Chains A and B, each alone.
Chain A
Amino acid sequence: MPDGPAPPGKADRDSAAEPTPPPSAPSGVPAEAQGAGRFAAYLPSIKVTAASILLALVIGALLIVVSDRRVVESFGYFFSYPWDALRNSGAAIAESYTALVTGSVGSWSAITATLERAAPLICGGLAVALAFRCGLFNIGAQGQLVIGAICAAYVGFHYDLPPVVHVIAALLAGLAGGAVWGGIVGLLKARTGAHEVITTIMLNYIALSILTWLLTKEAFQQPGSNNPRSEKVADTATFPELFGVHSGIVLAVAAALGVWWLLERSTVGFEMRAVGANPDASRTAGMSVANVYTIAMVVAGLLAGLAGTQQVLGHEDSLTANFGGTIGFDAITVALLGRATPLGTVLAGLLFGALSVGGTAMQASAATPLALTQVLQALIVLFVAAPALVRGVFRMRSARDGGTVLASGWNS
């Protein structure tokens, strides 16, 4: 259900009275786009998202309290002197969350770090979101970005090109690498029906082994060194800086705009959404489902490849075995939180980028484990996806809101 506002995940009693559209029909125009007050129509989902973040922070606060030794000790004599435990808990929570906020948006350097962390998350998120809208579950952003980064880095350090040309060449190589890796999945699905969940998982591992293998090769290693670390990308091939941020973030926003245009304004995008909503109906309508799957995965791979180039052509300028971290996997949660829309993905990417950067600061200054931010991320997405729960907790008036708007099953 790519963009119908009322998928079967409809929880509210009062909205059940309304005529439900057939569950798998590609409903054309979203309700919020008809008529005036677009913002007002978005309001319920904004409220739910804010409430979800709040709820997640509350649970996170509990974990902080548990993880702070001083607090745990003072709870030992809670009944004789409760104020101590409460004050210590308050202090621990305040300290951690202050570190989280100042570490992510507290200063210009923190903001640039957040933006740079967010850029690959946004691109990867777009890769997952686009595939989702086409009814494909792309777990393979990780592999696609690894291959993209390998190609981009190789062009970046091996060739000697004039400044502007070099960065463009490296960027294009990265995009092409990702597109090929994504395209394999699409082609296999279109030709043989191989399920994309299996192939993307396997291709992730294959990409990782290719990376570790290449890092043992002299062509990739830094001269005179045996470390599994590639040569540094030439300065001519790195993204130029704007106000202390590398311009990859501009590319990420441009990519989001491009995906929006592709999905909402182009024929191919319409076909993708139609296939995502109901492949059988699309086939009957004369679309080539196989071609649409292939195109969607090529474009998704391209976007993930862009995420990979941001890792190597941005600040982290040489390849290592784990340069990608878990970006490809985090990208899935980003796409899901963004409800598989370009704007949502950008916002979600920024939020998770901030959480990730702030989490590191929190670990450094407040000694709260970094893993807490992972729990927070999971809880936020979980609560956003379960609006009925959040409204129940906050006693909100239930509104017309369909929960997440994604393909619901494996069926394809």
Chain B
Amino acid sequence: MELVSTATTVAEPVVRDPEDAKRRTKVGLLLLLVSGLLFYFWTSIDNAEVSYLLGDRTAGAEPGTLPARPVTLGCAVVVLVIALAVASGVLRRGVGNVLAMIVAGFAFILGFIVWAYSDQEAAFQAVITNPLPGTFAIATPLILGALAGCLCERAGVINVAIEGQFLAGAFFASVVASLTYSAGAGLLGGIAAGVGIAAMLALFAIRYLVNQVVLGVVLVVFASGLTAFLLDQVPDDPAVKQYLNDPPTLNDIAIPVLSDIPVIGEAMFNQTILVYLMYASVAVVTFIMFETRWGLRVRAVGEHPKAADTVGINVKRTRWQAVLFGGVFAGLGGAYFTIGSTGSFDKGASSGNGFIALAAVIMGRWHPIWATLAALFFGFVSSLQDQLKLVSKIPSELLTMTPYIATVVAVAGFVGRVRPPAADGEPYVPS
């Protein structure tokens, strides 16, 4: 905005960038559409109030109420103002623009939720609840998988096999936890399995120079076949099954002070050890990748292996290390699907989440923090979708697809073209 004002005061001819004009019309139209939708919500609401509950349901908190019509109207007006600001060119690229987009997004979500929960016909009045616990539940394995993907791909090894690592991690976490009666030991089993698949990935990608996309897909098939095969070997007899696939699950641990923070405390700090490991992993991976010598080497090897080799970095060894290190996180992510949530392993336990983690890696531009945010975004929309199923306004089968549509819209509309690490997927053959 400052740029614009200085340009006009000096009275230089303002150069109109056609790209910018195009973007303005596009974003402006989109926001107008959203605002129109919100106005429609406003007109279609009949009853006055919806109730919401942000705290813990069991803690006996009384739900608050929100006047439905004014809130949707307010949201519609906010979005309309932002739309006009974008279209008229007041908002340009920069922090102001990003903030305005975030505000518009929240206004839309708020208006939408209020509309969805208003005018309920059922005798039981559904209450808007805090979507954050669900967000973290869905996002935790995605984030861990995305970290594995980031580590591998920053080192130049494409990892399509996150799903395979999840499956192996989930299965062996369950088996080890059942054998030892200890969920903690199960985590180690999950890590070992994740690293095992990672070792196969590294062996075939780095030693045998197999095309890495092929390899990733094959490893997913391999892991899903192997876990299904091994699961078939576990007898149904409960006397035997309890030693193999009936693990204890991880307990929630409340962190003393932090878990009492009003809205986010319960969601973020009364969780299993796996979730805390996830927080730590994000920090550790980001730190290692961007602040340490080894991280610099990993990134060098992924961008320009020949240059890295020239200055004496052992390309293959660095790649091996990065892939195996990534396997640790993917294995932990896999463990979430058994000992972190439901307990025993089922065929295809991770149900395609590995691919969503892969999408998060790409959407987050191969950066651990952005990938984490992408996973959280997906988790947020998914958990919202889960809640809205309670309300009968939209068919639940259609709601199921909203997280995926939201991801496509986010990728197509806001992320756009991404640039992978330059040597991603190219085996290094010293010549």
Beta-carbon contacts of A1-19 to B below 8 Å, as 1s and 0s?
0000000111100001000
Query: Does chain B have a CB within 8 A of A201?
Result: yes
Measured between beta carbons, the chain A residues less than 8 angstroms from B225 are 371-378
Q: Per a CB cutoff under 8 Å, which of A23, A197, A404, A411 touches B362?
A: A197
Task: Known A213-B395, A385-B218, A411-B424; judge A198-B359 contact (CB<8 A).
Answer: yes
Measured CA separation A330–B295 after assembly (Å): 36
Interface stretch (choices A160-168, A186-194, A255-263): A186-194
Task: Known A404-B214, A408-B425; judge A371-B229 contact (CB<8 A).
Answer: yes
Measured between beta carbons, the chain B residues less than 8 angstroms from A194 are 408, 411-412, 415-416
- Judge whether B397 and A209 touch: CB under 8 Å: yes
Beta-carbon contacts of B284-303 to A below 8 Å, as 1s and 0s?
00000000000000000000
Query: Does chain B have a CB within 8 A of A386?
Result: yes
Query: Does chain A have a CB within 8 A of B363?
Result: yes
Measured CA separation A409–B417 after assembly (Å): 15
- From A373, which residue of chain B is reached at the shortest CB distance? B225
Q: Give the contact-size bracket for chain B.
A: 35 or more
Q: Per a CB cutoff under 8 Å, which of A9, A209, A212, A379 touches B209?
A: A9
Measured between beta carbons, the chain A residues less than 8 angstroms from B423 are 409
Which residues B388-427 have CB closer than 8 A to chain A?
Answer: 395, 397-398, 400-401, 404-405, 407-408, 411-413, 415-418, 420, 422-427
**Interface SS majority for chain A:** helix
Measured CA separation A195–B426 after assembly (Å): 19
Task: Known A212-B397, A336-B218, A374-B225; judge A404-B211 contact (CB<8 A).
Answer: yes
Query: Does chain B have a CB within 8 A of A403?
Result: yes
Measured between beta carbons, the chain B residues less than 8 angstroms from A66 are 233
Measured CA separation A8–B431 after assembly (Å): 11
Query: Does chain B have a CB within 8 A of A75?
Result: no
Query: Does chain A have a CB within 8 A of B221?
Result: yes
Task: Known A332-B217, A386-B208; judge A409-B420 contact (CB<8 A).
Answer: yes
- From B226, which residue of chain A is reached at the shortest CB distance? A375
- From B423, which residue of chain A is reached at the shortest CB distance? A409
- Judge whether B358 and A197 touch: CB under 8 Å: yes
Measured CA separation A369–B229 after assembly (Å): 6
- Judge whether A406 and B214 touch: CB under 8 Å: yes
- Judge whether A202 and B400 touch: CB under 8 Å: no
Measured CA separation A371–B209 after assembly (Å): 27
Measured CA separation A66–B230 after assembly (Å): 10
Quote the shortest CB–CB distance from B171 to chain A (angstroms). 12
Quote the shortest CB–CB distance from A339 to chain B (angstroms). 9
Quote the shortest CB–CB distance from B410 to chain A (angstroms). 9
Q: 7 additional contacts, CB 8 Å, given A371-B224, A374-B222, A386-B208? A: A193-B416, A201-B359, A216-B397, A336-B211, A369-B228, A374-B229, A408-B427
